[in-house]
């Protein structure tokens, strides 16, 4: 890839206005006690999405997790369907379906219906299956996951475009299959890949998918994003012509985000949450005086911010951190995970409000290579 090609591809991402979205991993609060009311949790999260919709967020993604007692969303399809009835403007997405373990024909049908339910506001992410125990649990050989991913993606794309598909591999058989109805978006919703493996990211870029990365220090994300942009530069004319418009973005950065009125307030509140976690789970919570433990907790908060574990502080500090990260890593969509251990709904709602009303307008940096 030439230097001019690198520059043009980076500019295509970094010169776009930075979009702001939400990413919810649907983890149960470890400080909420042994009996979490999941239905009540769903209701609160839907209320939050309704408010985020009014605040002008670009998109809200939900994660899908299987066979884990501390997560509450094994069906992102059902979740997005519910969210579609509480929002009217923001786009809604899944990050992501573990494609090697999904029945592709049925999933293609579900996504088509979901796109219609959202009035064409759907975006769909896929993963290879980084938690191999999920694959093993349903009889999928992890060594086959790449081939399964590629074949099932092609099968679904053919179905979404109105094609008649014949296919046979393992437990998947399609004999002249077509689906109806087709998605609302033509040819299908924008597709994403969630992962940080550079070879996979390069392939996804060459096929026109978006890339979602995060929850690692920025420097560790650079190889995947660079490989992805290199792959994106090599897209064929046919791929470019056929792919859907990327309304929300091309490269998404997922980060834990906590916004308070001031830096001091943010640090103090997060430190209090850490202390309560320590006390509940015995992570040194009884050692030393309360003053010393609080000081240590504040130091841990500073380390989490310094090490790119989270974006936290007052609005101006968070905006500067976002701009600095964008200088090091090309991305055009920030996906904020605003839920954390011990955070009440008022604090979560405050982060969502301040991020939209004060942080977003302050993020003005456009990065040129």
- pLDDT for position 288: 63
Closest residue by Cα to residue 208 from 90, 112, 102, 124? 124
Backbone angles phi, psi at 177, to 5 degrees: -95, 135
Q: Which residues of the chain have pLDDT under 50?
A: 1, 285, 366-369
CATH number belonging to domain 3-258+314-362 = 3.20.20.30
- pLDDT for position 368: 35
- pLDDT for position 3: 60
C-alpha span between 248 and 211 (Å, rounded): 12
- Please list the alpha-helical segments (H only) found in the chain: 3-14, 38-54, 76-84, 104-117, 132-137, 145-160, 198-206, 218-233, 237-242, 263-281, 290-306, 315-328, 345-354, 360-362
DSSP state of 286: T
- Check if the beta carbon of residue 170 is closer than 8 Å to that of residue 145: no
Closest residue by Cα to residue 65 from 36, 34, 98, 93? 98
- Give the HSE-up count for residue 242: Cα atoms under 13 Å, Cβ half-sphere: 14
Backbone angles phi, psi at 150, to 5 degrees: -65, -45
C-alpha span between 218 and 309 (Å, rounded): 9
- pLDDT for position 170: 79
Backbone angles phi, psi at 101, to 5 degrees: -105, 5
Backbone angles phi, psi at 173, to 5 degrees: -130, 130
In terms of phi and psi (left: phi > 0; alpha: psi -120 to 50; beta: otherwise), the region of 246 is beta
The pair of structure tokens assigned to 36 is: 């979490």
Closest residue by Cα to residue 88 from 39, 52, 61? 52
C-alpha span between 28 and 156 (Å, rounded): 32
Domain residues of the chain, as ranges?
3-258+314-362
Q: Long-range contacts: 278-283, Cβ < 8 Å, 24+?
A: 280/30, 280/31, 281/30
CB burial string 167-190: b at 16+ within 10 A, e below: beeeeeebeebebeebbbbeebbb
- pLDDT for position 168: 85
Q: What DSSP string runs through 96-164?
A: EEEGGGS-HHHHHHHHHHHHHHTTS-EEEEEE--SSHHHHHHTT--GGGHHHHHHHHHHHHHHHHTT--
Give burial (CB, 10 Å; 0-12/13-18/19+) of 26.
buried
C-alpha span between 81 and 75 (Å, rounded): 10
């Amino acid at each position: 890839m030439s230097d001019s090609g690198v520059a043009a591809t980076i500019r295509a991402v970094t010169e776009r206005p930075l979009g702001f979205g939400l990413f919810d991993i649907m983890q149960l609060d470890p400080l909420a006690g042994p009996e979490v009311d999941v239905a009540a949790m769903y209701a609160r999260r839907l209320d939050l999405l309704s408010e985020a919709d009014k605040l002008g967020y670009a998109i809200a993604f939900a994660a899908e997790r299987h066979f884990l007692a501390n997560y509450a969303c094994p069906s992102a399809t059902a979740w997005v369907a519910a969210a579609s009835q509480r929002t009217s403007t923001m786009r809604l997405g899944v990050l992501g379906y573990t494609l090697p373990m999904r029945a592709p024909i049925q999933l293609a049908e579900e996504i088509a219906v979901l796109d219609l339910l959202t009035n064409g506001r759907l975006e769909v992410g896929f993963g290879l299956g980084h938690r191999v125990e999920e694959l093993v649990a349903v009889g999928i050989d992890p060594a086959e996951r790449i081939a399964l991913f590629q074949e099932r993606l092609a099968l679904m794309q053919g179905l979404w475009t109105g094609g008649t598909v014949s296919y046979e591999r393992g437990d998947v058989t399609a004999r002249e299959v077509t689906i109806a109805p087709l998605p609302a978006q033509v040819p299908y919703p924008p597709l994403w890949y969630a992962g940080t493996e550079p070879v996979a990211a390069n392939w996804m870029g060459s096929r026109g998918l978006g890339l979602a990365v995060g929850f690692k220090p920025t420097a560790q994300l650079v190889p995947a994003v660079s490989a992805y942009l290199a792959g994106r530069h090599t897209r064929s004319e046919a791929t470019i012509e056929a792919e859907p418009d990327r309304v929300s973005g091309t490269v998404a950065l997922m980060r834990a985000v906590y916004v308070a009125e001031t830096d001091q307030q943010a640090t103090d509140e997060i430190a209090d949450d850490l202390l309560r976690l320590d006390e509940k789970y015995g992570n040194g919570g009884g050692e030393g005086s309360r003053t010393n433990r609080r000081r240590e907790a504040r130091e841990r908060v500073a380390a989490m911010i310094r090490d790119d574990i989270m974006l936290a502080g007052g609005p101006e500090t968070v905006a500067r951190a976002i701009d600095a990260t964008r200088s090091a890593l090309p991305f055009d969509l920030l996906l904020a995970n605003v839920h954390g251990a011990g955070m009440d709904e008022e604090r979560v709602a405050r982060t969502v409000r301040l991020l939209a009303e004060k942080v977003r307008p302050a993020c003005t940096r456009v990065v040129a290579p």
